Structure 1
Amino acid sequence: MAAYVLVPGFWLGAWAWRPVAQPLRERGHNVHPVSLTGMAERAGQARPDTDLETHINDVVNLLASRDLHDVILVGHSYAGLVITGAADRLPERIEQLVYLDTGPLPDGMSQNEFAPPEQQTTNAELVANYGDGWQLPPPPWATLAAPVPDVDEAAIEALTTNSVPQPWATATSPARLTGRWEKLPRLAILCTFTTEQVRAMAATVPAFRHMAGDIWRYAELPTWHWPMFSRPAELAEILDGATR
C-alpha cells in the first residue's frame, strides 16, 4: 500500500480526483486528494495575496498534520510548482514526485512566465476585466473539450459546475527552491507532449532543464490536458504502477 497526495491544477479541487482516487483506493492505497486555499470548498478563503507559497504551505501542512511518509506526491499542471516547492521543504517525506502533464520550473520562474506571451496578455485581460483584478476565471470547458472524444457530458458538467476562479498571485509569484528536492525520483505522465519532445526541449529550453536525466521516468497518456476526466482508469493504472 502506498500513500498518494493528489494536487490539482488551476480552477480545480480535490473533487477533480474522484475518478482516479477511487480505483487507487480499491487497489489498497491511501489516497489524499487536496483542495488548495481558495479552491473548491475552500473558495471562501481566496484573497488577493493567496499565492504559490500559500499553496506550497497547504501541502507541507497536510504532510505534517497527517504524519505522511514515503509519499507519492502528484501534481497536475500548475501544481507541478506546488509539489516541487513542498518536496523542497520536506524531501525526507517524499518517495517520488509525479508530474501530470507538467514539470518543475527553475528557481525564480513563475507559472505565468512559462506561458507564451499571447497567453500572458489574454490572461491579464481576463483577470482585469472579469476577475476583479486578482482572479483568473475558469475557461469555457465545453469549448476546450469539444475536440476530445474521451470527455463526456458528465465531465463537462462537473468542470463547469465546480470550477472556481484561480487567485492570480499563484500564477505570478515565482518558485523559490533550494535544490533539496532534486535528488527525488520523478515520473512524468505526458498527455500533450511526447517523451521525445520533452527530452528535446530539456536540452534547449531553460524552463524545461529539470526534465531530463536518469532520475526521470516517462509514461505517455495521449489525451487532453485534464486526463482525470478523459482517461481516469488509465491514469489510475499508471499511478498504481509508480509503486512498482
Structure 2
Amino acid sequence: MATYVLLPGFWLGAWAWRSVTDELRGRGHDVHPLSLTGMGERVHLAGPETGLETHITDVLNLIRYEDLHDVVLVGHSYAGAVVVPGVADRMPERIARLVFIDSGPLPDGMSQAQFTPPEEQARNAELVRTVGHGWQLPPPPWEQLASGVPDLPAGTVERLTRLAVPQPWATATTPARLTGAWEKLPRLAVPCSFTAEQIRAMAATVPAFRHMAAEGWAYRELPGWHWPMFDRTEALATILHEAA
C-alpha cells in the first residue's frame, strides 16, 4: 500500500480527482485528494490574500496532522509547477516521490503567471481586473477547451462548468521560493500535451524548464487532454499505482 496526496490545478478541487481516487483506493492505497484554500468545497475561504504560501501550508498541514509518511505527492498543472516543489522543499523527509501531471517545477523566483506568454499574462490580468473583482481569475470556457477531445465521458463539461471556481490571482503571481532540497527526491513527469523528448529539448534551452534537465527524472507519457483525470482516468491511476 502507498500513500498519495493528490493536488489539482487552477479552478479545481479534490472533486476533480474522484475517479482516480476510487481507482487507487480500489487497489488498496491510502489516498488524500485535497481542495486547496478557496477551491472546491473550500471556495468560501477564498480572499485577495489567498496566495501560493497559503496553498503550500494547506499541504504541509495535511501531511503533518494526518501523520503521513513516504507520500507520493502528485500535482497537476499549477499544483505541480509551484505547490509540489514548495511542499517537498520544506518537508522532504515525509515525501517518497514527486509526480508532475502535465506540468513541471518552476525555478526559484518564478511565478505561475510569469510562465505564460506575455499576451496571455495581459489577457489574464485584464480578466482579473474586469471580471474577477481585482483578485480572481475566472474559469475558462470548458466547452470550448473540450471541443474535439475524444472519449471525454458524458457530463464532464457540465461538471467542470458547475464546480470549477475562480482562482485567487495571488496564487499565480507569488514567486516560488526554493532551496533545492526537493531536487533530491525521485521525480516522475506524466506529460499529456508534450512528449518526453520535447520536454527534454525545452529543458536544455528554456530557463523555466531547466530543472527537468537534471538527473533523477522518469517519464510516462499519457497523450491526451491537459486534464487526464477526466479523460484518461484508468490509465492515470495505473501510472500512479506503478509509480509507488
Same fold (TM over 0.5): yes
Aligned to 2:55: 55
- How big is each residue's C-alpha offset from its partner over 1:205-226, in whole Å with a ceiling of 9 and x where there is no partner? 0000001233000010000100
Equivalent residue number for residue 23 of structure 2: 23
Match of 1:64 in 2: 64
Structure 2: runs of 5+ lacking an equivalent: none
Q: Supply the RMSD in Å over aligned alpha carbons.
A: 0.7
Matched residue, 1:150 = 151
Offset from partner CA, 1:121-170 (integer Å, 9 cap, x none): 11011111110010000011011001211223311111111000000000
- Map 1:190-205 → 2, pairs under 5 A: 190-205=191-206
Taking the aligned partners of 1:151 and 1:121, their CA distance within structure 2 comes to 31
2:59 partner amino acid? V
Q: Which residue of 1 aligns with 2:32?
A: 32
For the residues of structure 2 that align with 1:72 and 1:130, how far apart are their CA atoms?
A: 37
Within-5 A mapping of 1:75-224: 75-80=75-80, 81-224=82-225
1:36-47 aligned at under 5 Å gives the runs: 36-47=36-47
**What is the alpha-carbon distance in structure 1 between the residues aligned to residue 129 and residue 231 of structure 2?**
31
* Residues 180-208 of structure 1 deviation map (CA, whole Å, 9 limit, x = unaligned): 11100000000001011000000000000
The TM-score with structure 1 as length reference comes to: 0.98
Report SS of the residue matched to 1:133. coil
User: For residues 134 and 169 of structure 1, what CA distance do their matches in structure 2 show?
Assistant: 7
What is the letter of the counterpart of residue 97 of structure 1?
A: L
The unaligned stretches of length 5 or more in structure 1 are: none
Instruction: Return the letter of the residue paired with 2:29.
Output: H
Runs of 4+ in 1 over 3 A off after TM superposition: none
Q: Distance in 2 between matches of 1:94 and 1:37?
A: 21
How many residue pairs match? The answer is: 243
User: Separation in 1 of the partners of 2:155 and 2:94?
Assistant: 36
